[in-house]
């Protein structure tokens, strides 16, 4: 297992603290007038999602986390579990609804996703940054509401509800940003 010295600390680093994997989400270098340099780090636990703040002195080190990112394909949902398949080994992984979190809103069968494994076990997944989804149901737009930013909730093929402009109709295909959950554009088919 590798070791990261404080000079290697940066945002996005995956480290291990007390036997659990953490993602460094913020790192600030502080050099006071007197004394040693300090590294103020904010880290998110990759298993529980909790956030931890720690300060390290120059010369300290942290173990690298044994995490691996793989590309998987979403297969199907079975009760409260989501089933994915590794594109290289064809091995199947199951994630609970809690591990998938709000990403279920964007999952379509056959979609390519990223999965994080810790010690060979899946802990989290992320869909592509943008997905196209078909509108299954929405209220008709009111005529004359085209000049302003009027939005309405629409239900898409995954069962999620997304706020869209009033000109979107049933059967339209929309592009959604999975990082924010916001409507991006209408896609012509």
**Domains of the chain with bracketed CATH:** 3-64 (2.30.30.30), 67-126 (2.40.50.140), 130-187 (2.40.50.140)
Mean pLDDT along residues 24-51: 85
pLDDT at 130 over 60: yes
Q: What is the pLDDT of residues 133-169, one digit of tens each?
A: 999 998 886 666 555 678 889 999 998 999 998 888 8
- DSSP string over 51-96: EEEEEEETT-EEEEP-EEEEEEEEEEEETTEEEEEETTT--EEEEE
Specify the pLDDT at position 189: 66
- Predicted pLDDT of residue 83: 94
3-state secondary structure of 102: helix
**pLDDT of the residue at 82:** 93
pLDDT at residue 18, as a whole number: 87
40, 31 in Cβ contact below 8 A?
no
> pTM (2 decimals)?
0.72
**Pair 46, 124: CB distance under 8 Å:** yes
Higher model confidence: residue 1 or residue 116? 116
Candidate from 32-36, 68-72, 82-86 with smallest mean pLDDT: 32-36
Residue 176 has what pLDDT? 92
Say if residue 19's pLDDT is above 90. Answer: no
Residue 184's closest CA among 120, 133, 123, 112? 133
């Amino acid at each position: 297992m590798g070791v990261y010295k404080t000079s290697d600390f940066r945002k996005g680093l995956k480290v291990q603290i007390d036997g659990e994997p953490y993602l460094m989400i913020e790192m600030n270098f502080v050099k006071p007038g007197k004394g040693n340099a300090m590294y103020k780090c904010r880290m998110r636990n990759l298993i529980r999602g909790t956030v931890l703040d720690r300060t390290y002195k120059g010369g300290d080190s942290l173990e690298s986390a044994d995490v691996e990112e793989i590309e998987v394909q979403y297969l199907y949902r079975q009760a409260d579990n989501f089933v994915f398949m590794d594109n290289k080994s064809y091995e199947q992984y199951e994630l609970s609804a809690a591990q998938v979190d709000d990403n279920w809103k964007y999952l379509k069968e056959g979609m390519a996703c990223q999965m994080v494994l810790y010690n060979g076990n899946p802990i989290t997944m992320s869909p592509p940054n943008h997905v196209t989804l078909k509108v299954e149901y929405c209220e008709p737009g009111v005529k004359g509401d085209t000049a302003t930013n009027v939005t309405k909730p629409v239900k898409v093929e995954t069962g999620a509800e997304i706020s869209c402009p009033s000109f979107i109709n049933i059967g339209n295909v929309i592009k959604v940003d999975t990082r924010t959950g916001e409507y991006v554009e209408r896609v012509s088919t």
